[in-house]
Amino acid sequence: MTDKPITVTSPLLPNLDDLIPMLKDIWDRKWLTNNGHYHKELEKALAEYLGVKYLSLFTNGTLPLITALQAMRITGEVITTPYSFVATTHSIWWNGLKPVFVDVEEETGNIDPEKIEAAITPHTTAIMPVHVYGTPCNTKRIQEIADIYGLKVIYDAAHAFGVHVNGESILKSGDMSTLSFHATKVYTTVEGGALVCHDEATKKRIDYLKNFGFAGETTVVAPGINSKMDEIRSAFGLLNLKQVDSAIASRKATAEKYREALKNIPGIRMLKDIEGVRHNYSYFPIFIDEKQYGMSREALYEKLKENNIFGRRYFYPLISTFSAYKGLESANPANLPIAHKLADQVLCLPMFAGLDEESANRVIDIVLKK
Ligand code: T4K
């Protein structure tokens, strides 16, 4: 008998019995989208849970990135990281802007602040870093550079739901932060996302932009998009918010189990918890040094697959190697040695709330080459 498949993640699902009365309520109201009852409740509840003042819901985690750049009227060049999901760079392209790639830190996979200044030109107007795997960027240093050069900072916080640094939400950093609530994320509304900003006027503008630019029944103030979250997904999100803390606790337990089991394996590096940070354990990447481990990342990836375990190589290939971007000067591999190294070494092990002991042991046994 083959073992049951273990995927890299599995969605956080609310109890169906709790969802059904809410669906009945939506049916009764006959109000399905466009800032409905549950949409309003979820915006409020999420802002409270995340510790931010202004949050706008979106239909996914890509459109808030696109809208953030539009809302801030970013022009010219945007400095960003190649070590992310393609949506980060795509959002820059969708605004007709030029992405400029900067290398990352080996320790975290986040953009290296010390390499940002060299990439700034007279056309640079913004920095778009990513808190990759939910590990906070060096927001203090990034802000110092942004302040010196008069740049805006938009954080792609798709992985950083609920992450705090010294008791403060990471989403308070920079000018704006975006979230993804995709099915594969720590917190999900099936598809979904949000844009966090720091003042009421900006929230108002964002809300216009996600609703075609409508600022009233007959007034359109900008070429906005349609990215409104509907009532069904808002209800789903309200229920999931009640269980996200226990989901993060379950992820933490798995992370601790993996770390303990794999800590003495030569050639395997794992992310560490950072003091003062409330992590969310959104991914569990391991970085494989083939020479020391005695097996390549590709070989381990395949071996896991043969055993019905489906890890993922997030983030390989690098965004800068895709056809749309590889012609950019900043995409030259010589400019991005650490990002290339991480992309070649990384393998994300299965990590989700409720990953059972037996499954985690199956993963560990393969990595231990038992
Ligand atoms: N910025 C960053 C830094 C991001 O990582 C992302 C998305 C975004 C922006 C954009 O946010 P969204 O617009 O997507 O909200 C997945 C997700 O689709 C994507 O949301 C995510 N990042 C990216 C890192 O991963 P894939 O292509 O790996 O997904 P997929 O469909 O292969 O799913 C992975 C595994 O998850 C499956 O093998 C099984 C499991 N799964 C997946 C789905 C969809 C389930 O068990 N149930 C499900 O419903 O991109």
The closest alpha carbon to 133, from 111, 155, 160, 112, belongs to 160
Q: What is the pLDDT along the chain (370 residues), one digit of tens a residue?
A: 578 999 999 999 999 999 999 999 999 999 999 999 999 999 999 999 999 999 999 999 999 999 999 999 999 999 999 999 999 999 999 999 999 999 999 999 999 999 999 999 999 999 999 999 999 999 999 999 999 999 999 999 999 999 999 999 999 999 999 999 999 999 999 999 999 999 999 999 999 999 999 999 999 999 999 999 999 999 999 999 999 999 999 999 999 999 999 999 999 999 999 999 999 999 999 999 999 999 999 999 999 999 999 999 999 999 999 999 999 999 999 999 999 999 999 999 999 999 999 999 999 999 998 6
Q: How many other β-carbons are positioned within 10 Å of the β-carbon of residue 73?
A: 10
Q: Is residue 8 part of a domain?
A: no
The closest alpha carbon to 128, from 72, 46, 210, belongs to 72
- Residue 59 shares a structural domain with residue 208: yes
- Residue 24 shares a structural domain with residue 165: yes
Listed residues 194, 222, 241: the one ending a domain: 241
- Residue 209 shares a structural domain with residue 303: no
Torsion angle, alpha carbons of 274, 91, 95, 104, to 10: 40
- Residue 217 shares a structural domain with residue 307: no
217 CA from centroid of ligand 1 (Å): 36
What does the block give as tokens for 24?
A: 């009945």
- Residue 86 shares a structural domain with residue 193: yes
Q: Are 20 and 26 in contact (CB under 8 A)?
A: no
Whether the CA torsion 181, 184, 189, 192 is positive or negative: it is: positive
- Euclidean distance between the first and final Cα of the chain, in Å? 19
pLDDT by residue (tens digit) across 290-331?
999 999 999 999 999 999 999 999 999 999 999 999 999 999
- Residue 219 shares a structural domain with residue 346: no
User: In Å, what is the CA distance from 90 to each residue of 86, 119, 325?
Assistant: 6, 19, 10
Give the domain CATH number at 311: 3.90.1150.10
Listed residues 206, 241, 276: the one ending a domain: 241
Residue 60 CA: nearest ligand 1 atom is: 15
Which residues have a Cβ under 8 Å from the Cβ of 165 and sit 6 or more positions away? 136, 139, 276, 277, 278
Listed residues 241, 276, 294: the one ending a domain: 241
- Residue 256 shares a structural domain with residue 222: no
Residues in the chain: 370
57, 85, 190: residue to mutate for ligand 1 pocket, most atoms within 8 A of CB = 85
- Residue 181 shares a structural domain with residue 250: no
Three-class SS state of 220: strand
Q: Is the CB of 182 under 6 A from ligand 1?
A: yes
Q: Is the CB of 59 under 6 A from ligand 1?
A: no
DSSP-assigned letter for residue 273: P
- Rounded to an integer, what distance in angstroms lies between the CA atom of residue 50 and that of residue 37? 20
Q: Is residue 9 part of a domain?
A: no
Q: Which residues of 50-69 are buried (b: 16+ CB within 10 A; e: fewer)?
A: bebebbbbbbbbbbbbbbbb
What pTM did the predictor assign?
0.98
> How many structural domains comprise the chain?
2
Q: Is residue 4 part of a domain?
A: no
Q: Is residue 6 part of a domain?
A: no
184 CA from centroid of ligand 1 (Å): 5
Residue 180 CA: nearest ligand 1 atom is: 15
Domain that holds residue 140: 16-241
Q: Is the CB of 155 under 6 A from ligand 1?
A: no
- Residue 226 shares a structural domain with residue 90: yes
Q: Is residue 293 part of a domain?
A: yes
